[in-house]
Amino acid sequence: MMCRKIIVLLSMMLVCMVSCVKDPKPSMEQFQILKEKEKVTVGTDGATIVGEYAYSGGVDSMKVRVGTEEHLYGSDDYDVFLNGKSYYVDIKGLQSGTLYYYRYIVDYGAATVWQSDIYTFTTASDEIQLPTVVTMEMTGVTTVSASCLCNVVDDGGAEVKERGVCWSKSPHPDISSHAFANGGGLGEYEAFLLELEPNTVYYVRAYARNSKGVGYGEELTFTTLQELEVPLACLNGFFSVAEDRQVWFSQGNLMYKPSMGIWGFAEQQSSVVGYDNANIGPDYGGWIDLFGWGTSGYDHGAVCYQPWSTVKNDTSYYAYGSMESNLYDQTGQADWGYGVVVEEGDAETHPWRTLSFEEWNYLFHERVTPSGARFAKACVEGVNGVLLLPDDWNTSNYGLNNINQEGASFGSNIITMVTFESEWETRGVVFLPASGWRKELDVKDVGSMGLYWTASAYGTRRSIVLYFENDFLNTDVTRPRSHGCSVRLVRDVVR
């Protein structure tokens, strides 16, 4: 009897011993830390780590061992909080500016705990440094302005409150000389240099300011462009119509006198012929300023190439006899500017031309200006229209409402003729009046709509116009080629 009791007791002890030993993991699946999804955020006295792991089974516990020695003996363990397959750990009590080693230790039911490779992070320094900023390159250099691309690559341990560029005619410019600020924070930015002198060497440095002070980038130099003489009948403003191309605008809308066969420009930008365009015809002794598409007066292949053409058939206005041709294709004779002669040499060089759709679109929507202003709706001495602001326009020159707003009304900016000519036109501003349009001999919407031809064809019957009215503006509207619309010519700026 005693022997049986001993055997039973020994059996119970054996079962207890076996139950206290963990079963080996039945699967060969390996626990994994997804290092590519891990994010370590450091401070001066701690760090947080978030990430994800890959393992289909359960995890009993997870810790991070952190220390200043790579072997990690005697280092501190921090509990890792688990949420599904994601983890998070908050590590405190570290020293600033110090390299730390760490590894994960995971109990997931195997015979032994799993340990990761050893990784590192460095805590932030207690001492705030000046920001690090790079002066990258100069772009958009004109006679009186330029832009500079810059980059704040390090905030020095404190938020960058201001960043920009400074310049001078002498080396080593700082913010006590001319400066232009453009926001704050890290990353690339563009800053503008304004009110420069033509044909002058300037020194430029990017700068960034934090609570420590102002940090400066490398010094660059550039030379502003030489001042050009404005051609006869042009306004003095420069307008970018592509990244590498600027133009001057004519002094007013294009006009034609059929009885004499001569071209001219309106004497004032706000002047339009209006409803007198209904008198259009080969013998009309007055001026007209609404033209069918491609009616340059040259027999370039269209059935209707005369400026006074009113034939309703749109296919009669094909440039060079092809529905696909643009005005600037082939000989260029379909462009209204081809035959315009203002000064000696124009008849041989043909400097005047019509902007393409792409150029109008760039002018209104894509060009970068120091002030950010490109256009605005306005009413000049009772004439509705659109103001085009030159590349170097400075908003401090004159206040504007609803800048770059296609849906703005003409009443957004009310300007007298005296003010426009003395304060605006002298600074190169272009005004496109709402000069209406013509269908055969019927003139419509003078004063309420502006339709300006582009040099770009579209489809079998139509071409593209710049179209605007109250509460609307679009550079990509098509119009039947037989309709009479306005024309505003330009000349390329050649340096």
Domain 132-223 is of which CATH architecture? Sandwich (2.60)
The C-alpha atoms of residue 233 and residue 270 are separated, in whole angstroms, by 15
The C-alpha atoms of residue 225 and residue 54 are separated, in whole angstroms, by 62
- pLDDT at residue 126 in the model: 76
Contact 96, 124 (CB under 8 A): yes
**Selected residue with higher pLDDT from 17 and 381:** 381
Contact 429, 393 (CB under 8 A): yes
- pLDDT at residue 140 in the model: 81
Running DSSP on this structure, what letter comes out for residue 294? T
The C-alpha atoms of residue 174 and residue 189 are separated, in whole angstroms, by 18
> Quick one: what percent of the chain has pLDDT higher than 70?
94
Instruction: Please determine, for residue 154, whether its predicted confidence score (pLDDT) is greater than 90.
Output: yes
Query: Which amino acid, 427?
Result: R
pLDDT in tens, 180-236: 899 999 999 999 898 899 999 999 999 999 988 999 999 999 999 888 889 999 999
pLDDT in tens, 69-114: 999 998 999 999 999 999 999 999 999 889 999 999 999 888 889 9
The C-alpha atoms of residue 152 and residue 166 are separated, in whole angstroms, by 15
- pLDDT at residue 28 in the model: 62
pLDDT in tens, 37-61: 999 988 888 999 999 999 988 899 9
For 454, list phi and psi in degrees, rounded to 5: -100, 170
Instruction: Please determine, for residue 8, whether its predicted confidence score (pLDDT) is greater than 60.
Output: no
Closest among 436, 443, 463, 476 to 302, alpha carbons compared: 463
Q: Grade residue 26 by pLDDT with cuts at 50, 70 and 90.
A: very low
The C-alpha atoms of residue 339 and residue 298 are separated, in whole angstroms, by 8
The domain segmentation of the chain, as residue ranges, is 32-122, 132-223, 231-495
Q: Which token pair is 3?
A: 């022997």
Q: Which fold has domain 32-122?
A: Immunoglobulin-like (2.60.40)
Stretch 350-373: mean pLDDT:
94
Q: Grade residue 27 by pLDDT with cuts at 50, 70 and 90.
A: low
b (16+ CB within 10 A) / e for 419-448: ebbeebbebbbbbbbbbbbbeeeebeebbe
Instruction: Please determine, for residue 381, whether its predicted confidence score (pLDDT) is greater than 90.
Output: yes
pLDDT in tens, 263-299: 999 999 999 999 999 999 999 999 999 999 999 999 9
Q: Which residues pair with 264 in a beta bridge?
A: 255
The reply to whether 132-223 shares the fold of 32-122 is: yes
Closest among 448, 364, 446, 376 to 414, alpha carbons compared: 376
The C-alpha atoms of residue 190 and residue 209 are separated, in whole angstroms, by 16
Contact 224, 238 (CB under 8 A): no
Instruction: Please determine, for residue 314, whether its predicted confidence score (pLDDT) is greater than 50.
Output: yes
Helices (H) then strands (E): counts for the chain: 4, 32
The C-alpha atoms of residue 345 and residue 348 are separated, in whole angstroms, by 5
Query: Which amino acid, 109?
Result: G
Q: Grade residue 396 by pLDDT with cuts at 50, 70 and 90.
A: low
Coil, helix or strand for 312? coil
Query: In terms of pTM, does the model score above 0.85?
Result: no
Q: Which residues pair with 396 in a beta bridge?
A: none
Coil, helix or strand for 379? strand
